[in-house]
Copies of this chain bind each other. A is one copy, B any other.
């Protein structure tokens, strides 16, 4: 007879120091003097040295600089001057976010060796909160892909099974946290780029309400859909990270009310294919979280077509605008798949983009009404487990594309600008699956608090 915890499948790698360790626990140890920020950076450096060759999560590491910073943080702490919730905590930064002291490549040959003049606003905020940046993590080229296996630095590999993708585009951030190289990492999410790799790697991934976190210094994919977010080992770590990213505006909150939350279940169709084993696992996790039966949300399904149409026009027009001159002048430097996708984005007409913005406003009003009746929508983050590197179609009836399948359940919430979180919901065939919760615009703290108070780590 096996006990419940033994049914958790093993990682494919020997986990780094930070796997299973919470930031609060690290802070407590540092406060007690039993651990220093320098220790933490050394642990990060050791884990990266050992694991990164297998996982390709980091594309740039500077442990030397991080150690110097760690000693500063330790000296500050010794003087009773802790900067904030991440004081002394090693973090990783997705490589489409500007760092003044490290290259920022966007995963693209066009930017190899590129050194930004200044930190992105969110990087500056992390440093102000005491975080120590140990390196930059692999992004799908220009963040334009959910697989994380196309970049000038190659493919990131899933710590649960190295033959599989991490998901993307915040691919390296997911690999780094899931394998325990760092406790927490910055990602960006335009259609699911934080939540998808979080789900496929068994992490907590949170994308805030559009605009609540500054995107200054983040290389744009589709600015009106995009937000910085966090990949973490647990909800509490994500809360601390978001507190830092929002300059304290998103302080961890207590869940409101004593009743169970009003959770409405959203069917996969027509957003994505339905994989019975994944859906069953995720739905069970949603029921545990709700503490009772799930409501239905047929109105969400009714808006699926309009959401997808608006998303397509907005993302494609904005993405092409970012790259128009590069596509003209340096097409050969793109990954062929990314280039093809970008070229196909050129054809969106101006009036279709304008119409999409109007549709988005209409849909936002519809969903604002829906969120008067429910607290969160629940659905799988991704309808499948992590596919293999370079796999581009999903086997089985329907033969869906991998890209559409990975993004179909996450990108509707980017169109609407809603906060959304992916929570580890268990495993299917030894690979993690995620439960996604979506809340009303502006309800970021409440969503995080709900997840913190009601989510339990999966055991089987």
A contacts, CB < 8 Å to B: 313, 316-318, 320-321, 324, 345-355, 358
Contact = CB atoms under 8 A, between A and B. Distances in A.
Nearest to A348: B350
Contact of A355 (B324, B349, B351, B354): B324
A105 to B, nearest CB: 23
A78 to B, nearest CB: 45
Contacts of A317: 349-351, 353-354
A313 B351 CA distance: 10
A321 B348 CA distance: 13
Contact of A318 (B313, B320, B354): B354
A354 B353 contact: yes
Q: Which of A313, A324, A347, A349 has the most CB of B within 10 A?
A: A349
Query: Is the contact region of chain A dominated by helix, strand, or loop, or is it mixed?
Result: helix
Residue from the set A320, A321, A352, A354 with the largest chain B CB neighbour count within 10 Å: A354
Given A321-B358, A358-B321, A348 B351 contact: yes
Interface centre among A313, A324, A350 (most CB of B within 10 A): A350
- How many copies are assembled? 2
Nearest to A313: B350
A347 B346 contact: no
A91 to B, nearest CB: 31
Nearest to A317: B350
A351 B342 CA distance: 11
Contact of A320 (B321, B346, B350): B350
Contacts of A358: 321
Contacts of A347: 349
A317 B350 CA distance: 5
A353 B353 contact: yes
B355 A353 contact: no
A308 to B, nearest CB: 16
B348 A346 contact: no
A128 to B, nearest CB: 27
B349 A348 contact: yes
Contacts of A318: 351, 354
A327 to B, nearest CB: 10
11 contacts: A317-B353, A320-B349, A320-B350, A321-B351, A324-B351, A324-B355, A346-B351, A348-B349, A348-B351, A350-B353, A353-B354
Contacts of A349: 317, 320, 346-350
A316 B349 CA distance: 11
Q: Which of A324, A352, A353 has the most CB of B within 10 A?
A: A353
A320 B353 contact: no
Closest 4 CB pairs of A and B: A317-B350, A348-B350, A350-B353, A320-B351
